[in-house]
Amino acid sequence: MVYLKDIPLETALVKLNAALAAEGLAGVLGVEEIPLDERASGRVLAEPVWAKLSSPAYHASAMDGFAVQAASTAGAGPATPVMLAIPGQSTYLDTGDPLPIDRDAVIPIENTEALGADGQPAEDVRHPAAIRIRAAVVPWQHVRPMGEDMVASELVLPSGRVLRPVDLGAAAACGQTTLRVSRKPRVAVLPTGSELKPIGAPVAEGEIIESNSVLLAAQAALWGAEVTRLDICPDDEEAIRQQVRAVAGEHDLILVNAGSSAGSEDFTARVVESLGQLLVHGVALRPGHPVIIGIVRSGEKPVVVVGVPGFPVSAALTGEVFVEPLLARWQGRAPRRPEVVEAEITRKLVSPAGDDDYVRVAVGDVGRRRLAAPLARGAGVLSSLVRADGIVILGRGVQGVSAGDTVQVRLYSPRAALGETIFATGSHDLTLDLIAQYLAGRGRRLVTANVGSQAGLVALGRGEAHLAGSHLLDPETGEYNLAFLPRYLPGVSVRVVGLVMREQGLIVKAGNPKKLRTLLDLAQPGVICVNRQRGAGTRVLLDYLLQQNELAPEALAGYEHEVYTHLGVAAAVASGQVDCGLGVAAAAHALGLDFVPLHRERYDIIVAVEHADSPLLEPLWAALSDAGLKEQISALPGYDTHIMGELIAEAG
């Protein structure tokens, strides 16, 4: 039976909340008393903490100095010093010592002159016969009065507080020895799928490393749960049912990963319904719409089950939207509320009209503009989770936004990190990853958008990036990039800085089974190629080489099949989908493929002058002159760094 039916997110949450209330699961699951030590950090207070003791518990000296009656210092000045006898008029105290009952101020030792019994300067400044002062003090100066920090019976920490190290210090200082905290919710993560293999196991074609359980378990642990990761369960309805039944008694929440859609091997909904109540199967949410929510029973004990979609991005979003608020409720704390900033979206987005669309973005400041660059949106694109600085939510009824529109971004990254981001756009090159790693150790993030050389220059001209990578060949002059600057960057002042010389050629299967040696071989029957997207420098180079060899694009089977990176070309070849594609040698080497060199080219970075000398880009220029980084890049097959950091031209 097919159950999947999308309902609005709000409706799904109403159904869940009603079921939680009916089952007695709407609040804290339990309370436990724990010792007050460092292990309490991160726990959630179930009961408030009241001060048992005042802090300080007495009037205390705030300085090393001499306790006095403030009235006895009246009239003291540079020209009218006052002498105070010891012990009659002043008493030496260390910081924190109790203030004598007949004293009401402290004079710091550095503001006194120690005198001996003869009135001459004394060597022992802490135990003289008298002191001379040249400035008066007022009552309670340099004194910590009793209860200045906390007064006995005062509220120190409210319930619902996620305990920080400073909170533990305050609780200890006011006399507490134990804390009453909410019991950690117990969460089981059950990965399902006959194609899954555990981490570290060899993987054959058609098999997948099981990584979602690590992601989900880490999320739940971060949000305060006690987590159990279960072994992979095959796509077998009865096996899944037995696993859920087996762990239900010891857990409050079971996350069943994959099998949540409505396919022939998607069993989670049926399992939940057979063991309890199926509340939700399908939420109008992208990515992640095949979410399952239900309640199962272990004897009289109700247990929440969430069927989590199998794609990584969908799984992560399910955790953020459903699991985190649920764990927050069970611990008695407020759900996490990320900081929200406004930013300009860098490209047009089309959104399904009936769904809440969650779009992950990289965020950074370019000049005075804050930009949000959408990342790859596939539900299986795990790298988008790693690279995201935040998320933009396009609500139901919003069919998209245009480039330049202002959007609200819920931040994952600290706001301060946005000002440390270097936005790079344009052509893909493997050296950018090595540069990004170099910059990461020097307080900068390099965020790249692989849109092709032409689109990168256009984006630079619109002020949407600090720099663009480009290797556009001018067929008439044989020069790279310079001829294209007036066309794509009119009126924009830029610097053209050399990065690398690199080999472009045919990426072919290991052993080169089709014996491809020249571009003419691509026109042979049975040879299928892959191409780069329009505007990519590699696409321009291919068209140039085709023209040089008097070949029409139509002669190449697969010419219209486009990918966006050199590694994308290599992946298409490695998968067996195609026989070859034009790309760099390092991409072929990375995937164990062969490479047939055809052309040597120059790859430059084009930098807007307004950003070139900014402190933000200083570490980038250091990177381009770093001998160790050059050595790493030179080790890539087909790369030469002799132009790295060289000023090629200034334009505009």
Asked if residue 281 and residue 244 are part of one domain, the reply reads: yes
Give the pair of three-digit tokens for residue 259: 């099998």
Whether the per-residue pLDDT at 222 is higher than 90: the answer is yes
Whether 433 is covered by a domain: the verdict is no
Note whether residue 435 is domain-resident: no
Q: For residue 647, give Cα distances in angstroms to 297, 385, 496, 619, 630.
A: 70, 36, 6, 17, 16
115 in the same domain as 46: no
Cα distances (Å, whole numbers) of residue 110 to 71, 143, 151, 187, 493: 20, 16, 31, 60, 60
CA distance 238 to 443: 52
Measure the CA–CA gap between 329 and 100, rounded to whole angstroms.
51
Q: Please tell me the predicted confidence (pLDDT) of residue 4.
A: 58
What's the Cα-to-Cα distance from 261 to each of 37, 226, 331, rounded to whole Å?
45, 27, 30
Q: Beta-carbon neighbour count of residue 149 at 10 Å?
A: 16
Q: What are the tens digits of pLDDT across the range 368-388?
A: 899 998 887 654 455 667 788
Domain membership flag for residue 431: no
Q: Count the helix, strand and coil residues of the chain and give each as a percent rounded to the nearest 5.
A: 25, 30, 40
- Domain-located, residue 1: no
pLDDT in tens, 301-342: 999 999 998 888 889 999 999 999 999 999 999 999 999 999
Do 457 and 357 share a structural domain?
no
The answer as to whether 387 is a domain residue is yes
Q: Phi and psi (nearest 5°) for 246?
A: -70, -35
Q: State residue 350's pLDDT score.
A: 86
Residue 354 lies in a domain: yes
Place of tokens 């079971």: 254
Decide if 448 is inside a domain: no
- Kindly report the CATH number assigned to the domain that includes residue 243: 3.40.980.10
Domain boundary among 285, 308, 329: 329
pTM: predicted TM-score of the whole model, two decimal places: 0.80
pLDDT 10s digits, 54-74: 888 889 999 999 999 999 999
Task: Assess whether 320 and 201 both reside in one domain.
Answer: yes
Q: Does 360 share its domain with 402?
A: yes
pLDDT, one tens digit per residue, over 492-547 is 999 999 999 999 999 999 999 999 999 999 999 999 999 998 888 899 999 999 99
Q: Which of residues 384, 413, 442 is at a domain's end? A: 413
Same domain as 401, residue 372? yes
What is residue 417's predicted lDDT score, i.e. its pLDDT?
82
Collapsing DSSP to helix, strand or coil, 588 comes out as: helix
Q: What angle do the packed helices 627-634 and 431-440 form, to 10 degrees?
A: 150
| pLDDT level of residue 204 (50, 70, 90 thresholds) | confident
CA 346 to chain centre: 20
pLDDT for 267 equals 87
- Render 155-198 in DSSP notation, one character per residue: EEE-TT-B--HHHHHHHHHTT--EEEEEPPPEEEEEEB-TTEE-
Residue 320 has what DSSP assignment? Answer: I
Per-residue pLDDT averaged across 186-203, rounded? Answer: 93
- State whether 567 and 498 are in the same domain: yes
Same domain, 484 and 615: yes
Domain boundary residue among 307, 329, 351? 329
Q: What is the DSSP string of 82-150?
A: EEEETTTTEEEE-TTPBPPTT--EEEEGGGEEEE-TTSSBPS-SSS-SEEEESS---TTTTEE-TTSSB
CATH number at residue 488: 3.40.190.290
Task: Identify the CATH number of the domain in which residue 381 sits.
Answer: 2.40.340.10
Asked whether residue 471 falls in the same domain as residue 593, the answer is: yes
Count the domains in the chain: 5
Note whether 212 and 355 are same-domain residues.
Answer: no
Q: 60 to each of 95, 145, 175, 213, 552, how far by Cα in Å?
A: 8, 6, 18, 55, 91
- Alpha-carbon gap, residue 583 to 414, rounded angstroms: 37
Q: The domain containing residue 356 runs over which residues?
A: 340-413
Instruction: Give the pLDDT confidence score for residue 1 in this predicted structure.
Output: 41
Report the alpha-carbon angle 355-357-363, nearest 5.
170
Band (pLDDT 50/70/90 cuts) for residue 50 is very high
Rg, Å, the chain Cα set? 34
Structure tokens at 280: 């939700």
In a domain, 490, yes or no: yes
Q: Please indicate, yes or no, whether residues 134 and 168 belong to a single structural domain of this protein.
A: no
pLDDT in tens, 237-290: 999 999 999 999 999 999 999 865 555 557 888 999 999 999 999 898 888 778
Tell me if 276 sits within 8 A of 295, measured CB to CB.
yes
CATH of the domain at 49: 3.90.105.10
Q: What is the mean pLDDT of residues 452-481?
A: 90
My answer on whether 209 and 108 are in the same domain is no
